[in-house]
Amino acid sequence: MNSSDRGGPVLGALVAGVDGSESAMRAVLWASKEARRRDRPLHLVYAADTDSRMIYASMETIEQVRNAGRDLLEETAAMVSERYPGLNVTKELSRRDPVASLHTAAGNHGTIVVGNRGLGGFNSLLLGSVSLKVAAGARTPVVVVRGTEGAPAADVVVAAIHDEHDVDCARHAASEAELRKASLRLVHVWNVLESVGNVVTMLDAVDEMARNHVRTLMGVTDRIRADFPGLTVEADAEKSMSAAGVLVEATRHADLLIMGGRRSPGNFGPTLGRVTHSLLHHANCPVELIPRHGKRATSEPQ
């Protein structure tokens, strides 16, 4: 039985952006290994953004940009094929901006993989912003590759569970753990001060709140254990003033952190919540965001 038969994700191609930076190359290598693990193709995208440059750049300049993109795609594809013989690698030179290019390339089932830094200096800030925009606006999973290159495998996948609506996120994490022959750790963090209005209420209700939070986590855990009987699944409910702090610490002993890509509507379009934003900047391993659709997608402060 595969993961989609159990309500898990339909795993499409791995889509990796190529821009010549060291961070992007790390993302390509991570995506290549993941594509081999999933037995899915790897699609490399170079976003030349020539549509917007036509306003001010000469055709000669635009052609130079396109040629540089083609060369970089060829070199990157050759490097990947050398490391992973037999992997299906395709290439795309896009005329659009990076965010639109990656979203379009991913389609309905692809997983976008990006680095967390750019080429250095101002470009580093710009490309970091692109990665965040890709994550905030995606309707398919996005992985931001973080952590120390060459770090030994922890054989653990961590999933952040906020409430019962995170079953799909947990299933995705379970599928990733199975592919890695790793264990799965479900982590639920709750904050007493966000749950009560005053100290008296807190003293009277804290035990009941704790039971409710544990009950929520175990409801998700039981469903995952039923769907993935051969998988080792641990569940931890933790009380803390900082959900981000607990999750960042959890990534010290994980190969991958998976969490719902919750977003709140900002003045200039969708934005990532505070906890998600913190993890993308401070996690010690790659972070995979699973989009949450519907009403609950904008209701949580992460």
27-36 residue pLDDT tens: 999 999 999 9
pLDDT in tens, 267-280: 445 668 888 888 99
pTM of the model: 0.86
How far apart, in whole angstroms, are the C-alpha atoms of residue 247 and residue 169?
15
| Whole-number pLDDT of residue 16 | 97
- pLDDT band for position 285 (cuts 50, 70, 90): very high
Distances in Å between the Cα of 15 and the Cα atoms of 6, 30, 42, 154, 211 are: 25, 11, 6, 25, 41
Mean of all residue pLDDT scores within the chain: 84
- pLDDT band for position 61 (cuts 50, 70, 90): confident
| Whole-number pLDDT of residue 141 | 95
Distances in Å between the Cα of 115 and the Cα atoms of 15, 130, 231, 280, 281 are: 12, 10, 30, 10, 11
pLDDT > 80? residue 265: no
How far apart, in whole angstroms, are the C-alpha atoms of residue 8 and residue 145?
22
147: which residues sit within 8 A by CB, 6+ positions away?
251, 283, 284, 285, 286
| Whole-number pLDDT of residue 7 | 55
Which amino acid appears at position 126 of this protein?
A: L
Which residues make beta-bridge pairs with 271? 264
- pLDDT band for position 148 (cuts 50, 70, 90): confident
Identify the weakest region by mean pLDDT among 119-133, 185-199, 234-248.
Answer: 119-133
Q: Indicate the angle between helix axes 22-38 and 59-83, nearest 10 degrees.
A: 50
Distances in Å between the Cα of 255 and the Cα atoms of 18, 34, 62, 104, 177 are: 23, 12, 40, 28, 9
Average pLDDT over residues 139-153: 88
| Whole-number pLDDT of residue 298 | 45
Contact yes or no for 47/70 (Cβ under 8 A) = no
- pLDDT band for position 295 (cuts 50, 70, 90): very low
pLDDT in tens, 48-60: 888 877 777 788 8
